[in-house]
Amino acid sequence: MNDILDELRWRGLIAQSTDESALADALAAGPVTYYAGFDPTGPSLHHGHLVQLVLLRHLQRAGHRALALVGGATGLIGDPRMSGERTLNTKEVVAEWTMRLHAQISRFLDFEGDNPATMVNNLDWTAPLSAIDFLRDIGKHYRLGTMLAKDTVARRLSSDEGISFTEFSYQILQGMDFLELNRRYGCTLQTGGNDQWGNLLSGVDLIRKADGGTVHVLTTPLITKADGTKFGKTEGGAVWLAPDMMSPYAFFQFWVNTDDADVVGYLKIFTFLDRERITELEQAVADAPRAREAQRVLAREVTTLVHGADATARVEAASAALFGGGDLHDLDAGTLADAVAEVPRGTVVPGESTIVDALVAAGLEKGRNAARRVVGEGGAYLNNVKISDPEQIITEGDLLAGGVALVRRGRRSLAVITR
């Protein structure tokens, strides 16, 4: 257990700690009960939460006792943002999102065996609390000057929109969570993103003032790219972990497209590969960057972690099949639809339209003469099969799962055709 901090530090998973030396001693003497909180302010966790989930798993694998908190209460308020008041969601929506996050988190931790994780919901102890009890038992331990000095609060106060009492109170609720978990489960460590440092310290101070206890906080750094820009944004927004918000295929492709300068760092942070394997992949990046072996391993590992081995296998099969490395007819409709979601498309009439019609309809060629030349030069493919006859008719039998077919010009210009 005493090696876990060294491992986390090597992986780039430590930003700050309240007292790292004391925490190291506690982890060495362990097991330590620890927790991280996840607020249902949206219907899915995203790449930022993934860092915390990986950290929780590392600690559990090292023998420590995990508590995963879904904020059914704090999700009704939402952590204050640097600018702009949050729109409050209804209780029904938050309850639904709480269940979705519960299911997502359960994939990452072991809730059975000799060292099972425990899932908790802060609504269980917050909802029965009266306003008077909250003010007397919790509020009395907070000093307004300390609360006003929090970075997010200070920024909001100096802005035109200000901050409501609702969001201002969030730090008290988060501190109360740590106090409650300390009393119920003996929890002595809270983890979170480094941007949560102020809120995390709220619980440390509350436990000291209310019960005279000493507890710890450990934060993870904000993950950035090598050039210092923000990590994890796509054209569609965040890198969601829910498959109905970002398909496993799109998720896999996000990681495959990691820059060479970032891939080794991401392998350390987002996978559980050991140092020897990551060192091998680092050498592969240096020796043969065009092969992109490290990126493919990263994508495979993270997609399997989030979506499971079966989903990863389907995604890799689809990736290979799109450009001739496998049989398109083996792909199910959902995986195929995800794989071609971003490619151009056109419509044809099965039994009447030719390959030339398909090339033009899909926008791969501007005119029929140009499309005929492509076919004549051997550059036209239907479902990865080279077509040499420009008059070849596209039939119902050419349609794959989901009623689509793939037409390609050359090696990389791909499009979808439908009825």
- Spatial separation of the C-alpha atoms in residues 135 and 193, rounded to whole Å: 28
Burial of 276 (0-12, 13-18, 19+ CB in 10 A): exposed
Most confident range, picked from 1-5, 183-187, 324-328: 183-187
381 is in an annotated binding site: no
The fold adopted by the segment(s) 345-418 is 3.10.290
For residues 67 and 33, the answer to whether their CB atoms sit within 8 Å is: yes
Residue at 215: amino acid letter: V
* Whole-number pLDDT of residue 235: 61
Specify the DSSP element, H or E, that contains 197: helix 197-211
State yes or no: pLDDT of 203 exceeds 80: yes
* Whole-number pLDDT of residue 234: 66
Centroid of chain to Cα 48: 6
Joined together, the tokens standing for residue 375 give: 């076919």
* Whole-number pLDDT of residue 419: 85
Higher pLDDT, 339 or 99: 99
- What are 19-33's pLDDT values in tens digits? 999 999 999 998 999
For residues 387 and 355, the answer to whether their CB atoms sit within 8 Å is: yes
Q: What is the DSSP string of 171-193?
A: HHHHHHHHHHHHHHH---EEEEE
Domains 4-220 and 233-327 share a fold: no
Average pLDDT, the chain: 92
Contacts 24+ apart (CB under 8 A), 212-216: 213/182, 213/188, 214/22, 214/188, 215/178, 215/182, 215/187, 215/188, 215/189, 215/190, 216/17, 216/18, 216/19, 216/22, 216/23, 216/26, 216/188, 216/189, 216/190
- Spatial separation of the C-alpha atoms in residues 393 and 412, rounded to whole Å: 23
Most confident range, picked from 57-61, 321-325, 414-418: 57-61
State yes or no: pLDDT of 113 exceeds 50: yes
52 is in an annotated binding site: no
DSSP letter, residue 137: I
Domain residue extents for the chain: 4-220, 233-327, 345-418
232 band by pLDDT with thresholds 50, 70 and 90: confident
- What are 82-91's pLDDT values in tens digits? 777 888 899 9
Q: Does domain 4-220 have CATH number 3.40.50.620?
A: yes
- Portion of the chain with pLDDT greater than 90, in percent: 75
Give the contacts of 230 (CB within 8 A, at least 6 positions apart): 224
Q: What is the DSSP string of 211-235?
A: H----EEEEEPPPB-TTSPBSSEET
- What are 346-391's pLDDT values in tens digits? 999 999 999 999 999 999 998 999 999 999 999 999 998 999 999 9
State yes or no: pLDDT of 1 exceeds 50: no
- What are 244-263's pLDDT values in tens digits? 999 999 999 999 999 999 99
For residues 52 and 103, the answer to whether their CB atoms sit within 8 Å is: no
286 band by pLDDT with thresholds 50, 70 and 90: very high
- Portion of the chain with pLDDT greater than 70, in percent: 98
- Spatial separation of the C-alpha atoms in residues 244 and 235, rounded to whole Å: 16
- Spatial separation of the C-alpha atoms in residues 109 and 234, rounded to whole Å: 27
Specify the DSSP element, H or E, that contains 335: helix 333-339
What is the number of other CB atoms lying within 10 angstroms of the CB of residue 31?
A: 15
* Whole-number pLDDT of residue 342: 79
* Whole-number pLDDT of residue 236: 60
- Spatial separation of the C-alpha atoms in residues 225 and 270, rounded to whole Å: 14
Higher pLDDT, 146 or 13: 13
233 is in an annotated binding site: yes
Query: Which CATH number is associated with domain 233-327?
Result: 1.10.240.10
Least confident of 112-116, 225-229, 277-281, 362-366: 225-229
* Whole-number pLDDT of residue 79: 82
249 is in an annotated binding site: no
35 band by pLDDT with thresholds 50, 70 and 90: very high
- Spatial separation of the C-alpha atoms in residues 396 and 403, rounded to whole Å: 8
What is the pLDDT averaged over residues 212-238? 85
